[in-house]
Amino acid sequence: MSDPKTSPSRRAFLQGAATGALTLGATAASAQTPDPLITEKQPWATGLGDGVDATPYGLPIQYEGDVIRRNVPWLTADPISSINFTPIHALDGTITPQGCAFERHHSGAIELRKEDYRLMVNGDVGQQLIFSYADLERFPRENHVYFCECAANTGMEWAGAQLNGAQFTHGMIHNMEYSGVPLKTLLEEAGYDTAADPTGKWVYVEGADASSNGRSIPMEKALEDCLVAFKANGEALRKEHGYPVRLVVPGWEGNMWVKWLRRIEVMDHPVESREETSKYTDTLADGTARKWTWVMDAKSVVTSPSPQSPITHGKGPLVITGLAWTGHGKITRVDVSKDGGMSWETARLAAEPGNKSLVRFYLDTEWDGEEMFLQSRAMDETGYVQPTKTQLREVRGLNSVYHNNCIQTWWVKPNGEAENVEVS
């Protein structure tokens, strides 16, 4: 065990209190003057609260009314085909509650009852099958925590530092524990020979909403780890996340995680649908478009401090925290820079990194009250290092929308406020 006289937190806090250098008002004051909040009557301690019949299904307390999904009206022509953002600046840990997990719709979130749900498996299979929801519940199922990131996450950063907040620059992501049936199991059930060479084979998946949002997935991936999922964080998928069934395509762009999944067709070619030609391709520096960029590369962002989560306590002890992830497997390391990438410190990972799931990192530090150019960079088990914006633009140019995994910079000012900026 550590000696309290030399432990970093004690040294930092008590020295700060002694010198008055910190703004830890309550701590510094407690030894000298009574705190009116504890010497005066505390109304919450003198009456009764709500009974257990008050909230059969609970919502956040009113004081957390700002911790919500937000959309940016000018970003799209209509909220029906648009996106809202997870309030990652205000969350901690790694699990995203369904209630504030980002949404992306192409024709709005539909209501589809379990009783009316059907999933067809057709095409190059031994026997075309149609499953009801109740059928799906009879197959062996798995549970995994995976992140789902929209390909367009951070997409506004190609042209510059445009959106002022981690929620808006990086909030097209959520991370949930999914329960479902492996896609491989359903293909086997339909007589597809999953032991055969998958090369050149594809599945085409589509949803029951008006957009249908069809996407082609190589058979290798379909058999590797895709899940036909019906629960997230233990409970039924929310309507806006594809109730009652969505496809989970771990580590791959969110658009392929087809919601209200209604059909899986085995084919010997990709469909080259609208969603994988005019959309979800990457415009390169020379003007050509790159297709089939499915995997979400390693990425990270500091969630606090950040523009929506400024430092309000002045200099002294500061927890810098954020999220890291990679579609290639596991994160191995996250570094944090306070000076725009000139020097780096290795952050502490809050838990053993999982496969294709969010990792929380912390840098427990002291703030001297001077400006910082905060950055984080993630590394994954393939040896890949998250690139700078400059490095990414050299290959990709300025006209892309998707797959921007650049290092993000927050300019933290001496007053504690933060701003989205670019460093050269």
Binders of a second copy among 3-32, rule CB under 8 A?
A: 3-4, 7, 9-10, 13-14, 24-27, 29-31
Which residues between 261 and 290 bind a second copy (CB under 8 A)?
Answer: none
Q: Looking up tokens 């415009």, which residue turns up?
A: 283
Choices 155-163, 192-200, 248-256, 385-393 (CB under 8 A): range interacting with a second copy:
192-200
Task: Decide: residue 42, CB within 10 A, 0-12 exposed, 13-18 middle, 19+ buried.
Answer: exposed
Closest CA to 158 of 405, 401, 408: 401
Q: Is there binding between residue 318 and a second copy (CB under 8 A)?
A: yes
Q: Is there binding between residue 384 and a second copy (CB under 8 A)?
A: no
The residues, any chain, with a CB within 8 Å of residue 263's CB and separated by 6 or more, are: 119, 120, 121, 122, 204, 205, 206
Q: Write down the least CB distance from residue 343 to a second copy, Å.
A: 21
- Distance (Å, rounded) from C-alpha 329 to C-alpha 356? 5
Q: Is there binding between residue 315 and a second copy (CB under 8 A)?
A: no
Which residues between 161 and 190 bind a second copy (CB under 8 A)?
Answer: 176-179, 185, 188-189
Candidate list 15, 35, 343, 394; residue touching a second copy; CB under 8 A: 35
Binding mask 215-254 for a second copy (x = CB under 8 A): --------x------xx-xxxx-xxx--x-----------
Choices 132-140, 152-160, 334-342, 395-403 (CB under 8 A): range interacting with a second copy:
132-140
Distances (CA, A) of 156 to 80, 159, 408: 20, 6, 12
Which residues between 89 and 118 bind a second copy (CB under 8 A)?
Answer: 90-100, 103-105, 107-114, 116, 118
- Strand segments (E) across 305-371: 316-325, 331-337, 345-346, 348-349, 359-367
The residues, any chain, with a CB within 8 Å of residue 84's CB and separated by 6 or more, are: 69, 70, 71, 102, 103
Tokens of 11: 């040294």
Q: Smaller CB distance to a second copy: residue 58 or 383?
A: 58
How many residues in the shown chain lie near a second copy by CB under 8 A?
135
Q: Write down the least CB distance from residue 406 to a second copy, Å.
A: 24
Candidate list 20, 49, 287, 383; residue touching a second copy; CB under 8 A: 49
H or E stretch at 187:
helix 183-189
User: In this structure, how many other beta carbons lie within 10 angstroms of the beta carbon of residue 335?
Assistant: 21
Choices 146-154, 206-214, 277-285, 368-376 (CB under 8 A): range interacting with a second copy:
206-214
